[in-house]
Amino acid sequence: MSAVALTVFLVLLAHASFGQISDLPEFYAAARMVLAGRGTDVYLLPQQLAAQQALFPALGQRMIGFFLLPFSLAWIVPIGWVPVEIVRYVWKALLLAALGLSLWLIKRVFQLDAKGTLWLISVALFSGCAYEALRIDQIAFFLLLAWCTLIWALQADRPLIAAIMLSFLMLKPQEVLPFLVFLLGARRYRVLFLFAVCTALVALVSFIELGLPGVMNYQTLMASTVENSKYLQADISPTLRGQLYRLFPSAKSLWTVICSIIHLVALGYIFWAGRKFRRAAGWIQAGVLVAMPLGLVTTLYYFDYDLIVLLPALVVLMKPQLQDLIAPWQLLLAMMGGLIFMLPFSIYIHYYYFLNEHGLINPNFWPLLVFSLWLIYFVNKNFKAFDLWVE
């Protein structure tokens, strides 16, 4: 009950300070620009600023950069059909519905009992990820719902639904690419073929909306973010690149190249893991544990609220098939490290440590790195547990 009460409180608190904190204007303004036939200007910062301020005067001089990929733009255009007077209420309701459906899907897919479900709700709603995503109206809950639906579709042998969810997750491709590579290694070619078709259709619609100049504007915008982190804030991302940016801010271009190479190596391992587990009964569970954490910690950029997509991985680890294989001291360390991502610690780290003190160490990165490396060891050591997996 306290977790639900906290969620309701956050909704009310965020509503009162919409103009100062919400990221909804970036999505809504882009959608309205496309519907008005101005898709070419979506990735031009001055035009974005003008559109956001015209639609939401409460923003003042504040601007939220829009960085979603061009070929996925069509997914967010429908929100532009909602009148501006009520869009903030509709958007918040959609976010809450997506979170609720995600938790229900996790319960169903992993067959959680009442106690496990209550733990899931508590961890999710008390996490800094949920707090931040709900507070600033980010799309993390939509991505979580797509991720959970994807897992369900794979288990239920619904390849078309799985492909559509994979295509939707391309809104932030860095988050789904590791699992795509795992599917490739696991030789799930039918799903991947349908995914390619769905993504091509969405890309075609997006290209018609943007035009070639709009795509070129996106490339120019992203090139500028390597050295200028005003809008993207890559230095606070809990990734290897984010940590290196804080330690050596004068060599950002070099670190981008080096971290890209490291990410490719990580994807190579994920592909190998897909090959290894492709015949295992618990191949999906192995993919959830191996692909997502390692892929996220080595990718170039995401924000802390995106870590909500790791919920299924945490639930898999707590299943009876695996929980007894985890040493008590390892479980204790994991719980202690996980406190960093829970309220109120996550608030302090984000709003006091990162934004005020500008410390050199990224405290969100190191627990994720240790967790990812431990998962590689744990999953490979306990291969038989996945080979004999029964839900």
Average pLDDT over residues 19-39: 90
Residue type, position 258, single letter? I
Give the gyration radius of the chain's Cα atoms: 20
For residues 171 and 218, what is the distance between their CA atoms, to the nearest angstrom?
14
Q: CA-CA distances (angstroms) from residue 317 to 110, 145, 320? A: 11, 20, 8
Between 41-50, 145-154, 188-197, the lowest mean confidence (pLDDT) is in: 41-50
What's the pLDDT tens digit per position in 105-134? 999 999 998 888 988 998 998 999 998 999
DSSP classification of residue 58: G
pLDDT band for position 16 (50/70/90)? low
Q: 87-111: string of b/e by CB count within 10 Å (b at 16+)?
A: bbeebbebbeebbeebbebbbebbe
What's the pLDDT tens digit per position in 36-80? 999 999 999 889 889 999 999 888 878 888 888 898 999 999 999
pLDDT band for position 13 (50/70/90)? low
* Domain ranges, residue 271: 2-226+233-387
What's the pLDDT tens digit per position in 239-248? 999 999 989 8
Using the predicted structure, report yes or no on whether residue 22 has a pLDDT greater than 80.
Answer: yes
Count CB-CB contacts under 10 A for residue 282.
23
Between 14-18, 74-78, 87-91, 253-257, the lowest mean confidence (pLDDT) is in: 14-18
Query: Please, are residues 274 and 287 in contact by the beta-carbon 8 Å criterion?
Result: yes
What's the pLDDT tens digit per position in 288-339? 999 999 999 999 989 999 999 999 999 999 888 898 899 989 988 888 888 9
User: Comparing 3 with 144, which gets the higher pLDDT?
Assistant: 144
Q: What is the pLDDT of residue 20?
A: 74
pLDDT band for position 378 (50/70/90)? very high
Q: What total of structural domains would you count in the chain? A: 1
Q: Quote the pTM value.
A: 0.94
Average pLDDT over residues 79-97: 95
Q: What is the pLDDT of residue 10?
A: 66
Q: What is the pLDDT of residue 222?
A: 81
- Computed over every residue of the chain, the mean pLDDT equals 90
Using the predicted structure, report yes or no on whether residue 355 has a pLDDT greater than 80.
Answer: no
User: Comparing 114 with 285, which gets the higher pLDDT?
Assistant: 285
Q: Percent of the chain, pLDDT > 90?
A: 64
pLDDT band for position 95 (50/70/90)? very high
User: How big is the CA angle at 378 (ends 375 and 381), to the nearest 5 degrees?
Assistant: 145
Between 13-22, 66-75, 190-199, 254-263, the lowest mean confidence (pLDDT) is in: 13-22
Among candidate residues 70, 57, 59, 85, the one with its CA nearest the CA of residue 30: 70
Count CB-CB contacts under 10 A for residue 280.
19
User: How big is the CA angle at 129 (ends 142 and 378), to the nearest 5 degrees?
Assistant: 95
Please report where in the chains the tokens 């932030």 appear, as a residue.
172
Q: What is the pLDDT of residue 6?
A: 66
What's the pLDDT tens digit per position in 163-179? 999 999 999 999 999 99
Enumerate residues 6+ apart whose C-beta is below 8 A from 23: 64, 136, 137, 138
Average pLDDT over residues 357-372: 88
Query: Please, are residues 98 and 133 in contact by the beta-carbon 8 Å criterion?
Result: no
Q: What is the pLDDT of residue 265?
A: 97
Q: Assign 127 to helix, strand or coil.
A: strand
Q: What is the pLDDT of residue 226?
A: 66
> Cis omega before residue 344 (within 30°)?
yes
Using the predicted structure, report yes or no on whether residue 380 has a pLDDT greater than 90.
Answer: yes
Q: What is the pLDDT of residue 230?
A: 66
Using the predicted structure, report yes or no on whether residue 19 has a pLDDT greater than 70.
Answer: no
Q: What is the pLDDT of residue 316?
A: 95
For residues 325 and 378, what is the distance between their CA atoms, to the nearest angstrom?
9
Count of all residues that appear for the chain in the document: 391
